Amino acid sequence: MSTTTSAPRFALRHVQLARAGIAAIAAIMVTFSPDHSAAVGLAVFSGFAIVTGLIEVLSGWLTYPSTRRAVPLLLGILSVVAGMLGGIQIWRSTTFFFALVISWALVTGLIELIWALRERRSPGLRLEARDSLITASFTILLGLGTLLVPAQYALTYSIENPATQMNDEFTLTGIIIAVGLLGGYAAIIAVFLGIAGFSPRRDALPAKSATSRDDEEATA
């Protein structure tokens, strides 16, 4: 029976670049949207979480060996579920935005953080684990940062308009800050994963052997 190895069909760099791409789209949508309401924030989060989750599920089957695919699959499923919940229009309120984003960020961030710390014990996986560790840390910071924002916060301020010589009033609310945090998080993740994806692979995921593939097909 052959024991030769083959490269993963969906390599780690492809996973990182795909995630960077969808994160960049989310960051651009938040940055250039004049509306930072809960409805817009949940719409952006929904698309970001669903696509990110599908990428993670795909990577679980095509990138990771059977002994390491459980956590990517779990993270992918959690993100897809969170994204689908965010897509329910009648639930799109300020309170729901805070509850959903905080829950998703803390749960998925902690799972990925614990997984990365365990992966660092394997010499061949330390650099990959470091990337996951950094990503998880940013995700947890998103959850903690959003948790510290008062949902009902509102600050009214005025800025003089040179054209009218009058003051224009604006209101900074908690949801505007929270949606901004989501956009900032997406931008950071896009840059970091983009750099990681384009960087030379110094260590790679263990490739599946023909033997393991045969065993998986036999048990299917």
pLDDT tens, residue by residue, 124-168:
788 888 999 999 999 999 999 999 999 998 888 777 667 666 676
How much is the pLDDT for 212?
Answer: 43
* Spatial distance between the Cα atoms of 183 and 34, rounded to a whole number of angstroms: 13
How much is the pLDDT for 171?
Answer: 85
Q: At 202, which amino acid appears?
A: R
Q: What are phi and psi of 156, to 5 degrees?
A: -95, 130
CA atoms within 13 A on the CB side of 73: 11
* Spatial distance between the Cα atoms of 73 and 199, rounded to a whole number of angstroms: 25
How much is the pLDDT for 163?
Answer: 66
Beta bridge partners of 209: 5
* Spatial distance between the Cα atoms of 95 and 190, rounded to a whole number of angstroms: 27
Q: How confident is the model at residue 3 (pLDDT cuts 50, 70, 90)?
A: very low
Over 70: is that where the pLDDT of 102 sits? yes
